[in-house]
Structure 1
Amino acid sequence: MALHLWLTFSLAYLITSLSPGPNVLLTVRNALRYGPSGMGMTLFGNLAAQLLAISAVAMGVGALLVSLPAAFLALKLVGAGYLIYLGLRQLLARRPASIPAEQVAQVSNHSKWRIGLEAFLVSVSNPKTLVFFCAFLPQFLEPGRPIFGQFAAMYLSMALIVCLVHSVYCFTAYRFGQRLKASRVAAWCKRATGALFIGLGVRLLNTKAV
């Protein structure tokens, strides 16, 4: 992949990644709830789903799926339903006012794979990701060069950008969260997060393949 093409691709993807979506929201939520391990496992699940989506685009499966209305509708319903479920769970969950530090660590250790799976499902069940990759990635392919190497370079660049952007969001939320932890605003933020998940799920229902 030529340097100028890689720079153009990286800048374009960075700009698109700055707009927060379900993956960013989930990463921030888990980082505030479980700490660095929660953020790491969320990123792991998200990047695993992106690897699967990019592989589907590289093999032509992504374009085939998007061209099939029934398959696209099914994936859209699954993704929207899961986001709405996460939002309702966030809104309805009740947590004790204080949890011993050792109990928090135990919950975090036993939940790390569940956190990663949740992030994977949020990302892989969102057809907007597949539509975006199908339209975005082929623009940066160079004829005559190995397809695998180009897709690999794009995926590694995307993974680095995702980690960077999500880390900035998490750090910003953590700094604000430290100030709001003991106030009523923290409870309001929890409700707002749940409402955002529901809103993203409803918006996903209106997504069209083209």
Structure 2
Amino acid sequence: MALHLWFTFFLAYLATTMTPGPNVLLVVRNALRHGPAAMGATLVGNLTAQLLVVTGVAFGVGALLVAMPSAFLALKIIGAGYLIYLGVRQLFGRKVANNAAEVAATSSPLAKWRIAAEAFLVSISNPKSMIFLCAFLPQFLQADRSVPVQFVVMYLTIAAVVISVHAVYCYTAFRFSKRLGAAYWVALIKRLSGALFIGLGLRLLTARAL
């Protein structure tokens, strides 16, 4: 991929990532509730899903999903249902515990795997992500260069952008939590993220393939 084309891709994907979505909400919530290790686990789950999505786009799965309305509808319902489930659990789940207790509760490898699995499911269950990348990534391919290498470069760029943007969101939220009080801020994030997850799930139900 030529340098100028890569830079255009970088700026375009950065612009799309700056808009908060389910993945941003999830990583901020986990970072505030469980600490930096949970943020890392969330990013691992998210980027693993993104790797599968980019691979699927490279093999034409995204185009196949667009061409099969029933498959798109099924994946859309699954994704929307999971987001709504997360939102309801956030709004009506147990009261937020002490921050130190939350961090200690996620110190085990099993707890980190659960956080990563949740992030993976949130990211992979959104069919709009694959369809967006299916339309977005091919615009930056050059026919005279290795296609697999170009997809690898684009995925590494996506990973770098996601890590950077999510880290900025988490740092900003952490700074605000220090000013407002950690318990208050975590409880507020819990309620807001619950409502937003439900809203995003309902919005996903009305989404079209194109």
Q: Identity of paired residues, percent?
A: 63
Whole-angstrom distance in 2 between the partners of 1:155 and 1:16: 15
User: TM-score when scaled to structure 1?
Assistant: 0.94
1:82-101 Cα deviation digits (max 9, x unpaired): 000000000111236537x4
Cα distance, 1:31 vs structure 2 = 0.5
Whether the 8 Å CA contact 2:66–2:72 is kept in 1: the answer is: yes
Aligned residues: 209
CA RMSD of aligned residues (A): 1.7
Residue aligned with 2:106, SS:
helix
Q: What are the superposed Cα offsets for residues 127-185 of structure 1, whole Å, 9 maximum, x if unpaired?
A: 11011101100000001211100000000011000000000000001111122236756
* CA separation of 1:46 and 1:60: change in aligned 2, threshold 3 A: same
Gap runs ≥5 in structure 2: none
1:105 corresponds to 2:104: yes
2:56 aligned residue: 56
Return the alpha-carbon distance in structure 2 between the equivalents of residues 182 and 130 of structure 1: 36
The separation in 2 between residues aligned to 1:39 and 1:85, in whole angstroms, is 21
> Secondary structure, in 3 states, of the residue corresponding to 2:98?
coil
- Structure 1 pair 106/54, CA: closer, same or farther in 2 (3 Å)? same
Instruction: Structure 1: give runs of 5+ residues left out of the alignment.
Output: none
Deviation at 1:188, TM superposition (A): 3.7
Q: For the residues of structure 1 that align with 2:30 and 2:161, how far apart are their CA atoms?
A: 19
Q: Secondary structure at the match of 1:95?
A: coil
Label 1:47 to 1:182 Cα distance change in 2 as closer, same or farther (>3 A).
closer
Quickly say closer, same or farther: Cα 1:80–1:61, change in 2 above 3 A. Answer: same
Contact 1:180 / 1:186 at 8 angstroms: preserved in 2?
no
Is residue 2:52 matched to residue 1:43?
A: no
Equivalent runs, 1:71-82 vs 2, <5 Å = 71-82=71-82
Instruction: Report the Cα offset of residue 102 of structure 1.
Output: 6.4
Alpha-carbon distance in structure 1 between the residues aligned to 2:9 and 2:140: 7
- Structure 1 residues 117 and 133, CA gap change in structure 2 (3 angstroms): same
After TM superposition, the score normalised by the length of structure 2 is: 0.94
